[in-house]
């Protein structure tokens, strides 16, 4: 679960990260997306997923984890927008699937 935390540029705080995701990506509960991926141009596909989801889109991303030094892992994520008390998307809830690729 991710909270939208706008402070000038849009940013996102990880509120709850599941155990299996932590095994693949490492612990990031409480961290900001900008801490994990500060270079927005280099990681544009990741930032685009979060930004578009906060615009109300359901976003699916499929890639390998080359950005984590784990090119052998196929990775799929889905982010779903959640509106709070206002009309704005305040939270995202997501799921991820990782599978080892054959050598």
Most confident of 7-21, 30-44, 51-65, 79-93: 30-44
| pLDDT over threshold 70, residue 67 | no
Q: pTM for the full model?
A: 0.77
Q: Exposed/middle/buried for 2, CB within 10 Å: 0-12, 13-18, 19+?
A: buried
pLDDT at residue 101 above 60? yes
* Domain locations along the chain: 2-100
- As a whole number, mean pLDDT of residues 69-84 equals 76
**DSSP-based three-state secondary structure for 38:** coil
**CATH code, 2-100:** 3.30.450
- Rounded to whole angstroms, the Cα distance separating 24 from 99 reads 10
Mean pLDDT of 18-40: 87
Query: Is the distance from CB of 13 to CB of 5 less than 8 angstroms?
Result: yes
Return the DSSP state at 54.
H
> Rounded CA gap, 68 and 58, in Å?
24
Q: How far apart (Å, rounded) are the C-alpha atoms in residues 52 and 79? A: 9
């Amino acid at each position: 679960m991710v909270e939208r935390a706008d402070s000038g540029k849009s940013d996102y705080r990880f509120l709850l990260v599941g155990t299996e995701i932590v095994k693949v990506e490492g612990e990031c509960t409480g961290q900001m997306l900008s801490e994990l991926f500060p270079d927005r141009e280099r990681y544009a596909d990741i930032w685009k997923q979060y930004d578009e989801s906060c615009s109300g889109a359901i976003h699916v991303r499929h890639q390998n984890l080359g950005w984590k030094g784990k090119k052998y892992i196929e990775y799929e994520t889905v982010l779903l927008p959640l509106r709070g008390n206002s009309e704005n998307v305040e939270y995202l809830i997501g799921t991820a699937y990782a599978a080892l690729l054959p050598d």
